[in-house]
Amino acid sequence: MNAITTIGTIHGVGLGPGAQDLLSVRADRLVRGARHVAYFRKAGRPGQARRIVEGMLRTDVIEIPMEYPVTTEIPVTDPRYNQCLSAFYADCTARLATLALGGADVVVLCEGDPFFYGSFMHLHSRLSGIAPVAVVPGISGMAGAWTASGAPISWGDDVLTVLMATMAEEELTRRIRDTDALVVMKIGRNLAKLRRAVIAAGRAESAWLVEHAAMPDQRVSRLVEADRVTPYFSILLIHGQGRRP
């Protein structure tokens, strides 16, 4: 019986905001060469990360979809939410660790950047000390959004704040009022609350919504003109107007 002398590496690969030609050279090489490819998705859906790499994978690829047990069905403040996700991430960690300890390299597809509000972070912390983990950074969704807006997000000494629209309305209002430049993510069902917070902070006229940045259905509009619930892949921007030569 031959002993396995090599442990495989688990690669968290940042895919950028949604376009294949925005992948780094390293990410492109790893994705195209991988035999084992894992990715997160909602149950019954292909998943955004998997969609980005369509047509790039090997013909003999072994795909490992990791389906969230819960997304918006339970409020994030409900203790059951963390319990469900903790068990889910533990199961995903065990599956990937088994492959790596058996000598296989695994590429985990990550939307945007793996270390920026991504699910891969929860695997990374659990895999530490079990198997080698390598991370390939990617262009974040917010960089794709402000590029789509056609204007710099910050100038000179501007303070840039990144918020989640899932925050309490009062906290959103305070932070929006106090910053120079702003990015708000995870808008989804929180558009009405976010709009009220932006108005209360006196920033409505300078706020923009970017939907599906760097994707075929990209759309940029002013917040005051948006009258519908935006999809998950939406980001609100307020551009800084700070010091410049």
Q: Which two tokens stand for residue 176?
A: 């929006």
Residue spans in the chain of domains classed CATH 3.30.950.10: 141-238
User: What percent of the chain is predicted at pLDDT more than 90?
Assistant: 81
113 confidence band (pLDDT: 50, 70, 90): very high
Q: Which two tokens stand for residue 111?
A: 């939307």
Q: What digits encode the pLDDT tens for the residues 42-85?
A: 988 889 999 999 999 999 999 999 999 876 556 666 667 788 88
pLDDT of 234 over the 90 cut: yes
| Range list of H helices, the chain | 25-33, 48-52, 79-101, 120-127, 141-149, 169-178, 191-200
Residue 44 is predicted with a pLDDT of 85
CA distances from 141 to 29, 138, 215 (A): 21, 9, 11
Residue 1 is predicted with a pLDDT of 46
Q: What digits encode the pLDDT tens for the residues 99-109?
A: 999 999 999 99
Residue spans in the chain of domains classed CATH 3.40.1010.10: 10-136
Tell me the pTM: 0.91
The CATH code of domain 10-136 reads: 3.40.1010.10
Average of pLDDT values for 111-119? 95
pLDDT of 157 over the 70 cut: yes
State the architecture of 141-238 in CATH terms: 2-Layer Sandwich (3.30)
What's the CA gap between 150 and 108, in Å, rounded? 31
148 three-state secondary structure: helix
Q: Which two tokens stand for residue 194?
A: 């976010």
Selection from 210, 231, 216, 233 nearest residue 21 by Cα: 216
